[in-house]
Chains A and B, each alone.
Chain A
Amino acid sequence: MEQVITGLNSITHPHLEVWDWTVAVYLFLGGLAAGLLVMSAVANLRNWPDDEEGPHCIKGALYAPLILAIGMIFIFLDLERKTNMYWFFLSFQTFSPMSWGAWGITITIPLSFLYGLSTVPAGKRNRMPFAFLKRWSVRLEPHMRKLAMINFGLGIFVGIYTGILLSAMLARPLWNSSILPVLFLNSAISTGAAFLIIVAHKSAVKLFYTKVDIWLIFSEIMIIMLFFYSQYTSTAAAKASAMPFFTLSHEYFFYFLSIMIVAILLPLALVLKLIEMQEDHAETLSSATIFRMNLSAIMVLIGGLIIRFAFIYAGQLSTFS
């Protein structure tokens, strides 16, 4: 069949070209911040053996609002009418995931900041820049556990939201899957744990996140496989939407490459972490151990970034039919 179409818009034909790398980076940073909140809350709420009650991962809570705010800058860059941004906050649209996200992130940034302040130990408060921050930190310290619980929930919300934002798009079969929010949430928490492995100082905390990340990477690999299986066994459009990842051609080379890299990086990071857990670690970790831990964590972070990029671009190749 020969087809001639008069009146095409380049933004939608031959395929959708509306969201670019800025959205992919936004989803990655949003997921990372969500993961940091969840993971630091888990660490701070956990009953550590032979240890007094207190914050165990202050960096996660402190980095999260900063990373989330940077992510917001990227989504701001994507807006075509930046001066109209205030309309996000003059209305709430029940069915729009983006509206939920705009409000949710607006609530999450200050609350995660307060959580971060509450985790700063008394001995480190003198490093804080402003006097009022020190005062707030002192006042918030007794509420650290409550703030950790709230931020755990907010982290889950933001992590899921980054996936629902895409899965609500009926017109794009690759995105329109209920598995996608689960995948993005899992990836978010996994990247959060990986980030904390890199920035944490205490060996017990590093080892804790390494142990947690083993399960997260394992489940992420399972979810990715299930996602593609469900696409393959679904409608023709859903099946076609997954094909760029499994077609070695000039046109789809980067999609094929992305799934190949993820398929190598995540299992490799998993193996490195499993090897790490086999060893008996001393109180202070050796530089070689720290290097291996950081290497596997970087692999997880790169994997998370590639997943966001691949899904953003590949989803726009797919159309409902």
Chain B
Amino acid sequence: MPKYVMVIDQARCVGCMACIVSCKNENDVPPDHFRTRVIENVSGKFPKLRMELRSELCNHCDHPPCVYNCPTGASYKNKENGMVLLKKNRCVGCKACIAACPYDARYIHPEHGYADKCTFCSHRVEKGLEPACVKTCIGTSRIFGDIENPDSEVSLLLRDNYSYALKSSAGTDPRVFYINRITKPE
């Protein structure tokens, strides 16, 4: 069984926002709504400034609060690949998952009313393709793969580098890992 994770090498991110655009294009994300975002943190005092670029998305947690709080089973964790996905026809739009998510990864689809989110482009992954944001990343900052495979790029990166996950103290066991060689980890 594959266990898909995403590794984000922050040093390779150039802040081009192509990941946001490709995600919107691939998944038909409505205007003014986003499944992924890029955070630019500028710290220090001029001229000694330091910029950290960090892209964020659904962490496809191993212990997902959104799934635990969903009253209808619309949000679920795919047992085969571990992705946190949504059965759109079951969603009642109660917004419990949005309130429960520590990563603020969800939004209400303005047209259909369901609590939409990143799916790791599961429709592409099923065909053996990479998620759209990974495919389009010009700095190859986003790397996607199977962590169960010891020879995969994500396994090698996580083995060779210090990595951290966002808000790991929440106990959600996120599956998006960050490699940051420049700035101090959070």
Interface membership of chain B positions 27-60, coded 1 if the CB is closer than 8 angstroms to chain A and 0 otherwise: 0000011101111111100000000000000000
Which residues B90-106 have CB closer than 8 A to chain A? 90-96, 98-102, 104, 106
Which residues A154-170 have CB closer than 8 A to chain B? 168-170
**B95 and A19 within 8 A (CB):** yes
B162 within 8 A of A: no
From A16, A80, A96, contact of B70 by CB (8 A): A96
Q: How far is the CB of B137 from chain A (nearest CB, A)?
A: 14
- Chain A CB within 10 Å — which of B95, B106, B172 has the most? B95
Q: How far is the CB of B93 from chain A (nearest CB, A)?
A: 2
Assembled-state Cα–Cα distance A93/B71 (Å): 6
Contacts A98-B96, A171-B65 given; indicate if A3 touches B39 (C-beta within 8 A).
Answer: yes
Assembled-state Cα–Cα distance A1/B73 (Å): 41
Residues of A within 8 A of B69 (CB): 95-98, 168-169
Residues of A within 8 A of B42 (CB): 1-4
Q: How far is the CB of B71 from chain A (nearest CB, A)?
A: 4
Q: How far is the CB of A107 from chain B (nearest CB, A)?
A: 15
Residues of A within 8 A of B92 (CB): 79-82, 84-85, 87-88
Q: How far is the CB of B102 from chain A (nearest CB, A)?
A: 4
B72 within 8 A of A: yes
Q: How far is the CB of B17 from chain A (nearest CB, A)?
A: 5
Closest to A85 in B: B92
Assembled-state Cα–Cα distance A80/B39 (Å): 29
From A13, A81, A169, A320, contact of B93 by CB (8 A): A81
**B94 and A79 within 8 A (CB):** yes
Stretch at the interface among B107-115, B124-132, B138-146: B107-115
B7 within 8 A of A: no
A18 within 8 A of B: yes
B123 within 8 A of A: no
**B91 and A84 within 8 A (CB):** yes
Assembled-state Cα–Cα distance A210/B160 (Å): 69
Closest to A75 in B: B94
**A3 and B89 within 8 A (CB):** no
- Chain B CB within 10 Å — which of A7, A84, A96, A171 has the most? A7
- Tier of interface size on chain B: 35 or more
Residues of B within 8 A of A320 (CB): 102, 167, 170
B8 within 8 A of A: no
Residues of A within 8 A of B37 (CB): 5-8
**B99 and A171 within 8 A (CB):** yes
Residues of B within 8 A of A4 (CB): 39-40, 42
Interface membership of chain A positions 77-117, coded 1 if the CB is closer than 8 angstroms to chain B and 0 otherwise: 01111101101101101011111011000000000000000
**A87 and B74 within 8 A (CB):** yes
A11 within 8 A of B: yes
Residues of A within 8 A of B74 (CB): 87
A233 within 8 A of B: no
Residues of A within 8 A of B107 (CB): 9, 11-12
Residues of B within 8 A of A169 (CB): 65, 69, 96, 99-100
Task: Give the size of the chain A interface in residues (CB under 8 angstroms).
Answer: 44
Residues of A within 8 A of B134 (CB): none
Residues of A within 8 A of B39 (CB): 3-5
**A170 and B100 within 8 A (CB):** yes
**A12 and B104 within 8 A (CB):** yes
A118 within 8 A of B: no
Which residues A1-31 have CB closer than 8 A to chain B? 1-13, 16, 18-19
**B38 and A170 within 8 A (CB):** no
Query: Contacts A2-B43, A4-B39, A84-B93 given; 17 further ones with Cβ under 8 A?
Result: A3-B39, A7-B20, A7-B37, A8-B37, A18-B108, A79-B94, A80-B95, A80-B113, A85-B92, A87-B90, A88-B71, A90-B72, A96-B68, A97-B69, A171-B101, A171-B170, A320-B102
Residues of B within 8 A of A (CB): 17, 20, 32-34, 36-43, 65, 68-74, 89-96, 98-102, 104, 106-108, 112-114, 167, 170-172
What are 29 sample pairs from A and B whose C-beta atoms fall under 8 A apart?
A1-B42, A2-B42, A3-B42, A5-B38, A6-B20, A7-B20, A9-B104, A11-B107, A12-B98, A78-B95, A79-B92, A79-B93, A80-B93, A81-B113, A81-B114, A85-B92, A87-B74, A90-B72, A91-B73, A93-B72, A93-B73, A96-B69, A96-B70, A96-B96, A98-B96, A169-B100, A170-B172, A171-B99, A171-B100
